[in-house]
C-alpha cells in the first residue's frame, strides 16, 4: 500500500510496525489476538498516511494519471481567497460598466454581466419593452402591450399567439400549428376589441370568430377617424386634433386635409412648393390623390423644364412619338425612356425605318 504524499520506509512491513516484532509475537498469540494485532497494524499505517498529508497543508506527493486528467487546464492548485475583504473576481461590469457600454449593452447588477437591457429605459421605440428573463428588448411582454389591430403577443412580438393566454381577454387563439406557433387571436364580439380597432368584424357569410377593426368613424373614440384602407380598418386621431397633428418634416404626408382628417402629401399646389414632400421643387403640382407630382398638363412641363415639354403619366418627357423630336436628334422616340434619339420597338421609329439595336435604321440595314 502507498499513500499519496507519504513515502513509507523500504523496511516497513507487517512484521515490524512501530517497534512491535509481529513475527516473534505471533507464535505466543492465539488466533483471535493475532487477527486483532494485524488489524491494529493496518490502522497505524492508515493513520500515518492521514497525518502525512494533513501536516503538509497541500498535497505535494505524486499525482497519478487519472487525477491529473481531472485538473482543469491552468489550475495552479491554489485555493480561492475567501477571506473577508478579499477582492471579487474580475467581471465585464468593472469600471462602471464601460466594457458593456462599448458594445451597446448595460451591466446587470445581479449577475455582473453585460446584457441588452435591465429595464424598459434601455429599449427603443420599435421594441420598447425589456424581457427580464432574456434581457432582450421586445415589441411586447403581454397582449396588453399590443394595439388591437395587431392582436396577441407571442415570443415578444405582436400579432400572433401560441395559446389563448397570449390574446386579450375574451379572445381566443385560432389556427395554432404543432409546436404552439402560427396562431391568430380572434374576437367573438366587441368585448374582445378596443382601442384603435374597437369593432369585432365577423365574416360576411357568418362565423363565430372575426378580427378587430372598424368600418366607420362613428365606431372610433372621439376625435378619431376610421381608415378602412389599412387592414380591417384602424382608428387614428384626426390631423385636426393635437394628437393627430401632421409632421411638417414628413417626406410622405406633411399636410393635414381637414375634410378627411388624414395627413397627406398636399392639398394645393402651394403645399408642394412649401413642403418637404416636394424635395428640390421637382414635383410642384398636387394631384387628385394628394401627392406632389411633376405635371398634370403639358403646360406644367413647359414651366418646369422646356426641354421635356410633354406630360405623360404625371412625368415630364421629351416626346410622345418620333414626330415630337426636334431636328438634330437621331430619329425615333424611345417609348420606354420617353427620350428622343433611340427606340425600343419599330413603332418608335418614323415611317420607313425599323428599330435595330436601339436605333432607327432602314429596313435593308437592319441586322439579322
Q: Quickly state the pLDDT bin for 249 (edges 50, 70, 90).
A: confident
- Say what the pLDDT of residue 332 is: 97
Q: Between residues 166 and 249, which one has the greater pLDDT?
A: 166
- pLDDT at 337 > cutoff 80: yes
Task: Tell me which residue has cell 407630382.
Answer: 293
Cell triple for residue 293?
Answer: 407630382
Least confident of 73-77, 201-205, 359-363: 73-77
Instruction: Give the three cell numbers for residue 27.
Output: 507464535
Higher-pLDDT residue of 367 and 250 is 250
With beta carbons less than 8 A apart as the criterion, state whether 143 and 167 touch.
Answer: yes
Q: Give whole-number Cα distances, 18 to 9, 14, 29, 55, 58, in Å.
A: 12, 10, 18, 20, 26
Kindly report the pTM of this predicted structure. 0.51
pLDDT band at residue 117 under the 50/70/90 scheme: very high
Beta-bridge mates of residue 211: 201
Per-residue pLDDT, 97: 75
Q: Say if residue 80's pLDDT is above 70.
A: no
Q: Give the DSSP H or E segment for 213.
A: strand 211-213
- Residues of the chain above pLDDT 90, percent: 52
Helix, strand, coil % in the chain, rounded to nearest 5: 25, 20, 55
- The helix or strand, by DSSP H or E, that contains position 131, with its residue range, turns out to be strand 129-131
Q: Could you tell me the pLDDT band of residue 281, with boundaries at 50, 70 and 90? A: confident
Categorize the per-residue pLDDT at 243 as very low, low, confident or very high, splitting at 50, 70 and 90.
Answer: confident
How far apart (Å, rounded) are the C-alpha atoms in residues 81 and 85? 10
The answer, yes or no, to whether residue 106 has pLDDT greater than 80, is yes
For CA atoms 187, 191, 196, 202, give the dihedral sign: positive
The reported pLDDT for the residue numbered 48 is 52
Q: For residue 123, what are the CA distances in angstroms to 110, 119, 132?
A: 19, 8, 12
What pLDDT does residue 134 have?
Answer: 94
Amino acid at each position: 500500500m502507498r499513500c499519496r504524499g507519504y513515502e513509507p520506509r523500504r523496511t516497513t512491513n507487517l512484521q515490524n510496525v512501530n517497534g512491535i516484532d509481529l513475527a516473534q509475537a505471533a507464535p505466543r498469540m492465539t488466533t483471535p489476538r493475532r487477527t486483532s494485532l494485524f488489524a491494529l497494524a493496518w490502522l497505524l499505517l492508515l493513520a500515518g498516511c492521514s497525518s502525512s498529508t494533513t501536516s503538509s497543508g497541500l498535497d505535494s506527493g505524486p499525482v497519478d494519471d487519472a487525477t491529473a486528467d481531472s485538473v482543469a487546464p491552468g489550475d495552479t492548485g491554489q485555493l480561492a481567497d475567501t477571506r473577508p475583504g478579499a477582492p471579487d473576481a474580475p467581471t465585464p461590469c468593472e469600471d462602471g460598466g464601460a466594457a458593456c457600454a462599448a458594445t451597446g449593452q448595460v451591466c446587470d447588477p445581479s449577475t455582473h454581466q453585460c446584457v441588452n437591457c435591465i429595464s424598459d429605459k434601455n429599449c427603443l421605440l420599435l421594441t420598447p419593452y425589456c424581457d427580464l428573463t432574456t434581457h432582450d428588448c421586445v415589441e411586447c411582454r403581454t397582449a396588453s402591450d399590443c394595439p388591437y389591430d395587431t392582436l396577441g403577443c407571442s415570443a415578444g412580438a405582436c400579432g400572433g399567439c401560441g395559446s389563448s393566454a397570449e390574446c386579450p381577454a375574451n379572445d381566443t387563439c385560432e389556427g395554432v400549428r404543432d409546436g404552439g406557433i402560427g396562431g391568430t387571436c380572434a374576437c367573438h364580439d366587441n368585448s374582445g376589441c378596443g382601442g384603435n380597432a374597437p369593432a369585432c368584424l365577423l365574416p360576411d357569410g357568418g362565423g363565430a370568430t372575426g378580427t378587430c377593426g372598424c368600418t366607420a368613424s362613428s365606431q372610433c373614440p372621439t376625435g378619431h377617424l376610421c381608415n378602412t384602407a389599412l387592414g380591417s380598418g384602424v382608428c387614428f386621431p384626426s390631423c385636426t386634433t393635437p394628437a393627430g397633428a401632421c409632421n411638417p418634416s414628413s417626406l410622405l404626408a406633411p399636410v393635414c386635409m381637414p375634410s378627411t382628417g388624414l395627413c397627406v402629401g398636399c392639398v394645393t399646389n402651394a403645399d408642394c412648393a412649401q413642403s418637404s414632400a416636394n424635395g428640390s421643387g421637382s414635383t410642384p403640382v398636387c394631384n387628385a390623390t394628394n401627392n406632389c407630382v411633376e405635371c398634370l398638363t403639358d403646360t406644367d412641363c413647359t414651366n418646369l423644364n422646356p426641354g421635356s415639354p410633354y406630360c405623360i403619366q404625371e412625368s415630364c418627357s421629351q416626346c410622345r412619338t418620333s414626330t415630337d423630336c426636334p431636328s438634330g436628334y437621331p430619329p425615333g422616340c424611345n417609348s420606354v425612356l420617353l427620350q428622343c434619339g433611340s427606340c425600343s420597338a419599330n413603332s418608335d421609329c418614323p415611317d420607313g425605318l425599323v428599330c435595330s439595336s436601339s436605333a432607327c435604321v432602314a429596313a435593308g440595314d437592319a441586322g439579322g
